[in-house]
Amino acid sequence: MRLVSTQEFSANQEKYFDMAVSEQVFVQRDDYMFVVSRANEPNRKHKKPDAKLHNAITMDEVRDRLHSHITKKTGK
């Protein structure tokens, strides 16, 4: 398991995407934590929905939020 900040993840995305093939990678931003994982992993066991499911966001929302956050921090 690897825990990285959004800044570290942004600077080394390829490294962490490659790492996510063999281990869990968590990206933390303030009080939020995101998991980087392979979507097409055949034997992956998914958790059953629970009461916290209403807090879930889509990968598109993750991408948009990260992009917005990076833009604010870097001005690019």
pLDDT tens figures, 30-45: 888 888 877 666 555 6
pTM of the model: 0.49
Domain that holds residue 37: 2-74
- Per the structure, the count of domains in the chain is 1
Question: What own/partner pairs with CB < 8 Å and gap ≥ 24 does 72-75 have?
Answer: 73/7
pLDDT tens figures, 14-67: 999 888 888 889 999 888 888 887 766 655 565 666 666 667 777 888 888 888
Mean pLDDT of 2-11: 91
Is the model more confident about 37 or about 2?
Answer: 2
Task: Identify the pLDDT of residue 38.
Answer: 73
CB 66 within 8 A of CB 10: yes
Q: Which residues contact 66 (CB under 8 A, 6 or more apart)?
A: 6, 10
Task: Identify the pLDDT of residue 57.
Answer: 76
Q: Which residues contact 10 (CB under 8 A, 6 or more apart)?
A: 66, 70
